[in-house]
Amino acid sequence: MGAAPFGGVLVVSLEQAVAGPMASQRLAEAGARVIKIERPEGDFARGYDKAANGVASYFAWLNRGKESIALDLRQAAEWGLLRHMISKADVFIQNLGHGATARMGLGATALRADQPGLIVCDISGYGAEGPRATAKAYDLLVQAESGLISVSGAPGAEGRIGVSVADIATGTNAALAISQALARKARTGEGAHIQVSLFDTLAEWMTVPLLHHDYLGQAPAPAGLAHPSIAPYGAFTCADGERILISIQSDREWRVLARLIERDEMATDPDFATNNARVANRAATDGAVACWFAGQSVAEAERALDEHRIAYGRLNSVAGLSVHPQLRRSHHSHGLGSVDLPASALRCGWSAEDADVPDLDQQGSALRAEFGVD
């Protein structure tokens, strides 16, 4: 294993739920020492479920490799202990409610007045300013407010995206910004005040639908497994009932597919030769492709698609993912046993893939001894 890039970096994270823990976990993966500050009753994400062999699935995923200490910040001595930890830290992350840390005297302005080299990252629902700044914000609510739900799924009843995309993406953005700030600090000694919000994150993700609305006059509607701007794109049923998804990304790929499905004339026909033409004639395009798939077993179709280098995928389930030959797993211990998680998506050569999941206040005594003040 190579030297971790953030070895020697101390991160103190006053965090809860998903977005804050996601950010600090990514830093822990890169070698940072992360001290997780929890309420006396613990991060409420500990109670989401018991799917990780007795502990909560989100908690096990996003808190491995950290040290946990439970503090009651209403007590002056506990506040003083946290403040002393922060005075030794390179990074302070928080994702409490709007204004909570400022009211505690732990806002970015106050902290950086004493520690100009400190990197402070505030993670919020809607940012520090604006008419929604003080509103509570959870993942589903921001999916709705950002318009993400309106362009997702199939026509008909709305549904949330099946994973907490706002929280996960925001935490990832925060980790990226902190990494950039650490790189700058290594050169200049300067700290930073970083602000990342769930709404800003998903609003940026909505760039393409927003531009369609603003400049073309119509946002994409929910299209199920199809793509509003690409054809052919979606699921096609084989002779044995299995479905395969294909995604044709260029007119060159379309010409190859047209040859494969024995419809060579469609490669040059003006009604199908370009993507814009195929989108305008989606029913006929998809009909020709569907006819070919209907005559192939899934094994035959996959073999032909492989031979012609056409991108495809199975319409899988979570059960299918569990046994997918491409799935890598990592093993992590916790107080009730252990859990096998999907391995980190980052193959860097320095990430410890067996870090433990901390119990509540597991390192509390050691941290009080290390950072304790009179």
Distance between CA atoms of 26 and 18, rounded to whole angstroms? 12
- Residues 6 or more apart from 274 whose CB is under 8 A from it? 251
Amino acid at 153: G
Distance between CA atoms of 110 and 79, rounded to whole angstroms? 15
Distance between CA atoms of 100 and 47, rounded to whole angstroms? 23
**Structure-block tokens of residue 311:** 């991108």
Distance between CA atoms of 198 and 98, rounded to whole angstroms? 13
Distance between CA atoms of 56 and 17, rounded to whole angstroms? 11
Sequence ranges of the domains in the chain: 10-206+328-371, 233-314
Distance between CA atoms of 151 and 139, rounded to whole angstroms? 16
**Structure-block tokens of residue 308:** 């012609």
The set of catalytic residues is 227
Residue 178: name the closest of 238, 104, 119 by CA: 119
Name residues of the chain where pLDDT drops below 70: 1-2, 352, 373-374
What are the tens digits of pLDDT across the range 259-279? 999 999 999 999 999 999 999
pLDDT at 373: 65
What are the tens digits of pLDDT across the range 99-144? 999 999 999 999 999 999 999 999 999 999 999 999 989 999 999 9
Task: Out of 3.30.1130.10, 2.130.10.10, 3.30.1540.10, 3.40.1350.10, select the CATH number for domain 233-314.
Answer: 3.30.1540.10
Which residues pair with residue 13 across a beta bridge? 36, 93
Name the one residue in this structure whose structure tokens are 């362009």: 151
Does residue 13 contact residue 24 with C-beta atoms inside 8 Å? yes
Distance between CA atoms of 157 and 293, rounded to whole angstroms? 29
- Residues 6 or more apart from 220 whose CB is under 8 A from it? 151, 208, 209, 212, 228, 229
Does residue 67 contact residue 362 with C-beta atoms inside 8 Å? yes
* 3-state SS track over 76-121: HHHHHHHHHHHHCCCEEEECCCCCHHHHCCCCHHHHHHHCCCCEEE
Q: Where are the alpha helices (DSSP H) in 198-331?
A: 198-205, 207-216, 251-260, 275-280, 282-294, 298-307, 318-322
pLDDT at 344: 82
Residue 52: name the closest of 318, 321, 334, 317 by CA: 334
Name the one residue in this structure whose structure tokens are 């302070």: 92
H helices then E strands: how many in the chain?
A: 15, 11
Which residues pair with residue 247 across a beta bridge? 233
Measure Cα distances from 53 to 167, 324, 361 in Å.
Answer: 23, 21, 20
**Structure-block tokens of residue 74:** 């209403």
Domains 10-206+328-371 and 233-314 alike in fold: no
Amino acid at 78: E
**Structure-block tokens of residue 53:** 């062999």
pLDDT at 76: 94
Distance between CA atoms of 114 and 129, rounded to whole angstroms? 24
287's enclosing H/E stretch is helix 282-294
Does residue 178 contact residue 91 with C-beta atoms inside 8 Å? yes
Say yes or no: domain 10-206+328-371 is CATH 1.20.120.80: no
- Name the pTM for this structure: 0.90
